[in-house]
Amino acid sequence: MYFILILFFFDQIKSQKIAFGSCYNYEDPESLIFFEIAKHKPDTFVWLGDAAYVTSKTSQNRRMSELNETIIEYKFNLTKYNPGYQKLLNTTQINGVWDDHDYNERDGIYSNPVKEMTRQLFLNFLDVRIDDERRFKKDGIYYSFKLKNTKIILLDVRWNRNPEQQDVLGQNQWIWLENELQDNEVDLFIIGSGSQILPNDRLFIDVWYLSSRNKLLSILKGKNVLLMTGDVHFAEILQDPCTNIIEVCSSGLSYGSHYRNILRGLFEFFAEIFQPDTYSQYYERFADKNYAIIDIDEKKISIYNESSLLYQVDFNKTTSIKCEDLESTPLIFKYFWNFKDKFNAFFSMLLFYQIVKALKLCIILLVLIILCVFGILKFFGLSIIIKRKTNEKIKQKNE
């Protein structure tokens, strides 16, 4: 009897802390980010896609499907046996779904010819049991699990993705999702998707088709729900002004403007500052390497980089954009909401980077000058010594 009461007590105090992220590249083996995630001791870490870039590169540096099963497994293992990830793997439960690069097709859709082979290797990477239904389900690897009174629903946005029908999930997954949302024992639903859901006014971003997005928001109406997404190589906290639904995007674990080449950094810098402010403000977007923590007990959402907290909000955050503004304001003007603040942020950040760059150049020049002076002095000092010794030898010879 006492044993049962003790078990009940520990179940009640069990925390509900979810860490998640996406987009980890095996070319970043020295990253400390998994060690940092492990320090939070989350109840689960959730992959939201691109846990490994198993797609292969052509000579033109384009991504295409990898057909060699051994190479796919090897690339997944480069992530799996990363020391930091092993630390995380040994301290918390790992869950997840895929996106295009671990689905093994760039911007992959339903017609991916290698999805069945890749499915088994991806589930091996997650250590999913051989008899788990995700290995045999005909239309994807979507599933759900619970933490206390919270249900985490992970959607497969690749297996059934159909551009002709503008459908992301496929008929069976839609029906399954609606049934999952009927769970009356759940206080909060958290829905995970490899690609972003809320944005519908951005260029060059792989998001849900508009009809599927609107259908999802309609299904979620009246539900206590959070969305978590990945893919875009920067983090942000979004909110729909019409439903107040919050979307937390964390991407990527290996990508950030401060760590990659100049062109990528420039792109991510402008993504951070000069996105339209429809669903997030400029100060809610971060181009550092990042991961997210959803603390359900504390009702807080946090975005971290490798060393510090970047941003934190409560579940009850509000947006300054009104629902009626979405339709009445042309897209071009949405870029200018909060323009003064964005303008100041742009130049302050630009000035900061210019100062850092100038300091680096000054340090490099100072070191070069010191080396040159040292070299010159050493050269002339050596020449004088050699000349002196030569004169002494000549003098001794003459004597």
pLDDT, position 264 = 59
**Are 19 and 48 spatial neighbours (Cβ–Cβ below 8 Å)?**
no
Q: Stretch 212-221: mean pLDDT, rounded?
A: 96
- Give the pLDDT band (50/70/90) at residue 7: very low
- The model's pLDDT over 363-392, given as tens digits with 9 standing for 90+, comes to 888 888 888 877 777 766 666 666 666 666
Q: Stretch 168-193: mean pLDDT, rounded?
A: 96
* CATH code for the part of the protein at 14-337: 3.60.21.70
- Give the pLDDT band (50/70/90) at residue 9: very low
Model confidence at 3: pLDDT above 50 = no
pLDDT, position 279 = 92
Q: Stretch 158-183: mean pLDDT, rounded?
A: 97
- The model's pLDDT over 257-271, given as tens digits with 9 standing for 90+, comes to 544 555 556 666 666
pLDDT, position 25 = 87
Q: How far apart are CA 338 and CA 335, in angstroms?
A: 8
Share of the chain above pLDDT 90, in %: 57
**Higher pLDDT pick, 185 / 336:** 185
Model confidence at 74: pLDDT above 50 = yes
**Are 54 and 72 spatial neighbours (Cβ–Cβ below 8 Å)?**
yes
DSSP 38-101: HHT--SEEEEES-SS--SEE-TTS-EE----HHHHHHHHHHHHT-HHHHHHHTTSEEEEE--HH
Q: What is the CA radius of gyration of the chain?
A: 27
Q: How far apart are CA 139 and CA 124, in angstroms?
A: 18
CA angle 150, 42, 78 (to 5 degrees): 115
What mean pLDDT value characterizes the chain?
Answer: 85
pTM, two decimal places:
0.81
Q: Stretch 158-186: mean pLDDT, rounded?
A: 96
- The model's pLDDT over 301-349, given as tens digits with 9 standing for 90+, comes to 999 998 899 999 999 998 888 888 887 777 777 777 776 776 666 666 5
53-57, 184-188, 312-316, 387-391: which has the minimum mean pLDDT?
387-391
**Higher pLDDT pick, 272 / 61:** 272
- Give the pLDDT band (50/70/90) at residue 4: very low
Domain boundaries, the chain: 14-337
